[in-house]
Amino acid sequence: MASLSAVKTHFVAFDTAIADLTEHLNDPIDLLFGTQLGGGTDIAKALAYAQTIITQPRDTILVLISDLYEGGNVQQLYEQIQQLLAADVRCICLLALSDEGAPSYDQNVAKTLTGYGIPVFACTPDRFPDLMAKAIKGEQLTDIG
């Protein structure tokens, strides 16, 4: 998506701090797989930052790539998501995979996000384009794993 000229893409990595790596998007795959921060997770803080850089909410698709294990306040995570949805930001959650390729994530948070109507799924890189296209179109995804 970052290579499409009609699409403005931001890349924000997070642990308990936020790192806006948008200027390094010339190789998004390398950036995605090569980024490693210190540890810990504050998803709510990352979502709050994302809200500050969204200029056209109705035209925005926010893709959260996470294991959904919130190290901060999970209620704040839910509030941030609800604010994004209320602003008409479309949200998609791509779950983390273990080194063995199995989904590894907080099932309670995933269930809550799914309840908000957010597509939540894990996939291997070969399935990613098709599943992401379905999620963007609002089509039903059959499973999250």
Q: For 43-87, how does the pLDDT look when each residue is reduced to its tens digit (9 = 90+)? A: 999 999 999 999 999 999 998 988 999 998 999 999 999 999 999
Chain centroid, CA 138 distance in Å: 16
pLDDT tier at 103, thresholds 50, 70, 90 = confident
Position 1 scores a pLDDT of: 47
Parallel/antiparallel/unpaired status of strands 120-121 and 18-20? unpaired
pLDDT tier at 4, thresholds 50, 70, 90 = very low
Please, what's the b/e burial string for 96-131 (b: 16 or more CB within 10 A of its CB; e: otherwise)?
A: ebeeeeebbbbeebbebbeeeebbbbbbeeeeeeeb
Position 38 scores a pLDDT of: 61
Radius of gyration for the alpha carbons in the chain, expressed in angstroms and rounded: 14
Position 14 scores a pLDDT of: 80
Whether 70 and 40 have beta carbons less than 8 Å apart is answered as: no
Position 90 scores a pLDDT of: 93
The model carries a pTM of 0.81
The whole-chain average pLDDT of the chain stands at: 83
Token representation of residue 74: 């999970």
Residue 93 to residue 118: CA distance in whole angstroms: 7
Domain-by-domain residue ranges, the chain?
Answer: 43-137
